[in-house]
Structure 1
Amino acid sequence: MTEQPQPDVVLLADGPTGFAALRSLAAHCRVVQIFRRTDQPDASALKAFANNRGIPVAAMQDLNQLQKMIAELRPAAVVISSFDRIIPPQILALCRFVNVHYSLLPHYRGRANVNWAIINGETTAGISIHLVIPELDGGNLLFQQAIPIGANDTVTSLYERLNAIQERELGGVVVRAITGYQGTSQDTDNASYGCARVPEDGEIDWCQPTDTIDRLIRGLTPPFPGAFSHLDGQRLIITNASPRLDAPCYIGRVPGRIVGRSPSEGWVDVLTGDGVLRMFSVLPPNSERPCAAASAIGSTRATLGLSRLDLLRRIVALEDRLATLERLKCAHE
């Protein structure tokens, strides 16, 4: 029996799921082109993997490149895994498109869904592989699997688990779609939409409950932007922390105040709106690697919060508002 030739596919892979997608596709298909940005953490590893297999890799400048590539290579499918541009209907009509989406569609359509699932306190995340249509994250489902979100899960740990599922399943799912499998329709009546992007302003409000702050930190762990606060006017990214369940009750202390520190074990306790968060590691300014929180925070007299510049701006804005109110009062008298 003659073995069927592997189908040609193009991969669009600008983000943290792209390398797992490539490894899966390479086992089942002939990847003829990869479009990927060069600023990703695993860019060199992906490039080496592609070079060993003779797969060209390029950064996409505009969608006309994709249209031209489809016309030249005539792939059986274009596979999308971490790509932040909307592909117009005229390009989608050129061939079959398959997308990898890290949520349980039709819930959390849009971007940054794993981040928001943690931040919003969801109990499950998931992966959906679906056909692409002009509707945002619409199209029939080809594959879907849920995973639980544990109390200590971060966006990084969830991506690792979801990437493993993608690497195991994607190539086979794409081949089935190419050979005619149409999947199952989404329940559009129950569709929901996540925020369009990762929170760019992940500044911690220490007046919030401890669990809320903990979810923000876990939902933004690097290489995502990171939840941050300020210390002595400098931004400090919190990379590892957890609520302190056995913390004593502090009365009269300002949220953000350091209430405990262990140089030997490296942790620092900081007061929140309703308890204490223990910080284990932080990323100081101009640093590439996290360090123990106690190494960056040298005193229990410190208070985390707004930078001095931000505080001055707020004071100026308040003074301007008071001056405006005074003028209005005088005008009415």
Structure 2
Amino acid sequence: MIKKEDLRIVFMGTPDFAVESLRALVENNYNIVGVITVPDKPAGRGQKLRTSPVKDYALQAGIKVLQPEKLKNEDFLAELKALDAHLQIIVAFRMLPEVVWNMPPMGSFNLHGSLLPHYRGAAPINWAVINGDKETGVTTFFLQHEIDTGNIIDQKRMPIEVTDTAGTVHDKMMLLGAKLVIETVENICNDKADPKNQKEYITEGMKLKPAPKIFKDDCKINWTENIEKVYNKIRGLSPYPAAWTEIVDEKGKNLSLKIFETEMSSPSDIQIGKIHSNGKDEILIGCADGALKIKTLQLAGKKRMSAREFLNGFKNISECHVK
């Protein structure tokens, strides 16, 4: 058991998802002795250096920031050791070498965006929505050699609504995850944590759902699939990396189209891959057993827009077809 005020924590993370957990720790008066995040990177037309959201928050909070290029670099390891942390917390960072995660005496725990052991991997939120799951959650676990396989400390569950996208699930999970991080640290401090091997969560005959990294080809829409599967894929990839399809216009030109938001329509006589529009505010694309109403979309090189906005400049969409 260790007193809260004596506990020294190093936090590791990069995106907005991680900021919420860091903020919760700071606002609950935990002693964050250092933050580890990615190096600044050039971005945009001017190639100005862009800092990570975690670095931005850490600097505002007056916390020491380390940005190693390589996590096995001797200088970085010396700086990390000098922070003399009891515990390391990792939220949306990168894979750590053993020399890093095994350094603090109380261990290193990670916040993962799924109910482990399901959805081990890089894209757990996307795959849960793509697969049409009705529930997901967050898990804290101690790091060990194989990715996302460490002993589970605690979990919190949350529903996935039929209208949720990967983006809305991400935002709700970000808040839930921050609560779980605080509860996990409290339990570790008070010797109430009871980590369990992930094998205890696997029942006989259970098939684990994976969450591999998503590539561009994985995002292409197959309009021959049933409407619910296509609908789930689009919302599971929205807003990023975004589902896409290729259409051929009346002149035979191929155009790439990202689709972010749709609505399932009743079975119709619209053929698979056929595009129907009233030319004003409605775009429908046929699937195997119905048609999807396209609500927000983006033509390559253009901004994201509603169907109505899109049709203002593309009234002949009905003369196109999905490739």
Give the structure-2-normalised TM-score: 0.81
Question: Does structure 1 conserve the Cα–Cα contact (< 8 Å) formed by 2:140 and 2:180?
Answer: no
Q: Does 1:88 align with 2:97?
A: yes
Structure 2 counterpart of 1:206: 223
Structure 1 position 14, deviation (Å): 2.5
Question: Does structure 1 conserve the Cα–Cα contact (< 8 Å) formed by 2:37 and 2:54?
Answer: no
Structure 1 position 58, deviation (Å): 4.7
Structure 2 counterpart of 1:75: 85
Measured on the aligned residues, the alpha-carbon RMSD in Å equals: 2.6
Bigger mean CA deviation after superposition, 31-40 or 65-74: 31-40
Structure 1 position 166, deviation (Å): 1.7
Structure 2 counterpart of 1:19: 19
Question: Does structure 1 conserve the Cα–Cα contact (< 8 Å) formed by 2:151 and 2:198?
Answer: no
Name stretches of at least 5 consecutive residues in structure 1 with no aligned partner. 307-333
Structure 1 position 271, deviation (Å): 1.2
Q: Structure 1 pair 68/228, CA: closer, same or farther in 2 (3 Å)? A: farther
Alignment equivalent of 1:98, drawn from 109, 112, 122: 109
Q: Structure 2 CA distance, aligned partners of 1:5 and 1:110?
A: 34
Q: Structure 1 CA distance, aligned partners of 2:305 and 2:14?
A: 29
Question: Does structure 1 conserve the Cα–Cα contact (< 8 Å) formed by 2:275 and 2:284?
Answer: yes
Structure 2 counterpart of 1:301: 318
> Which of the pair has more CA radius of gyration?
1
Structure 1 counterpart of 2:184: 173
Q: Does 1:55 align with 2:63?
A: yes
Alignment equivalent of 2:243, drawn from 190, 204, 227: 227
Structure 2 counterpart of 1:111: 122
Structure 1 position 6, deviation (Å): 5.2
State how 1:182-261 maps to structure 2 within 5 Å. 182-188=193-199, 190=202, 192-201=208-217, 202-222=219-239, 224-231=240-247, 232-245=253-266, 247-250=267-270, 253=271, 255-261=272-278
Q: Structure 1 CA distance, aligned partners of 2:233 and 2:193?
A: 38
Structure 1 counterpart of 2:47: none
Amino acid in structure 2 at the alignment position of 1:13: G
Amino acid in structure 1 at the alignment position of 2:9: V
Q: Structure 2 CA distance, aligned partners of 1:67 and 1:196?
A: 30
- 1:166-186 CA-partner distances (Å, limit 9, x unpaired): 222313422432453442313
Q: Structure 1 pair 4/155, CA: closer, same or farther in 2 (3 Å)? A: closer
Question: Does structure 1 conserve the Cα–Cα contact (< 8 Å) formed by 2:15 and 2:54?
Answer: no
Question: Does structure 1 conserve the Cα–Cα contact (< 8 Å) formed by 2:133 and 2:160?
Answer: yes
Q: Structure 1 CA distance, aligned partners of 2:27 and 2:93?
A: 21
Amino acid in structure 2 at the alignment position of 1:72: A
State how 1:110-149 maps to structure 2 within 5 Å. 110-149=121-160
Q: Structure 2 CA distance, aligned partners of 1:209 and 1:97?
A: 43
Amino acid in structure 2 at the alignment position of 1:170: V
Q: Structure 2 CA distance, aligned partners of 1:217 and 1:6?
A: 47
Q: Structure 1 CA distance, aligned partners of 2:307 and 2:321?
A: 12
Structure ranking higher in strand proportion: 2
Structure 1 position 244, deviation (Å): 1.0
Question: Does structure 1 conserve the Cα–Cα contact (< 8 Å) formed by 2:115 and 2:157?
Answer: yes
Structure 1 runs (4+) deviating above 4 angstroms are: 42-48
Q: Does 1:10 align with 2:7?
A: no
Question: Does structure 1 conserve the Cα–Cα contact (< 8 Å) formed by 2:246 and 2:322?
Answer: yes
> Secondary structure of 2:24's match?
helix
Q: Structure 1 pair 24/101, CA: closer, same or farther in 2 (3 Å)? A: same
- 1:40-73 CA-partner distances (Å, limit 9, x unpaired): 9x96764443222212345441112553332121
Q: Does 1:275 align with 2:265?
A: no
- 1:148-197 CA-partner distances (Å, limit 9, x unpaired): 21211111111111111122231342243245344231341627251321
> Secondary structure of 2:322's match?
coil
Structure 1 position 294, deviation (Å): 4.0
Name stretches of at least 5 consecutive residues in structure 2 with no aligned partner. 44-49, 248-252
Q: Does 1:156 align with 2:167?
A: yes
> Secondary structure of 1:146's match?
strand
Amino acid in structure 2 at the alignment position of 1:248: S
- 1:245-277 CA-partner distances (Å, limit 9, x unpaired): 3x5323xx3x222112352xx331111222100
Give the structure-1-normalised TM-score: 0.79
Q: Structure 1 pair 229/89, CA: closer, same or farther in 2 (3 Å)? A: same
Q: Structure 1 pair 84/159, CA: closer, same or farther in 2 (3 Å)? A: same
Question: Does structure 2 conserve the Cα–Cα contact (< 8 Å) formed by 1:7 and 1:175?
Answer: no
**Equivalent pairs, count:** 294
Q: Structure 2 CA distance, aligned partners of 1:172 and 1:281?
A: 39
> Secondary structure of 2:72's match?
helix
Q: Does 1:30 align with 2:31?
A: yes
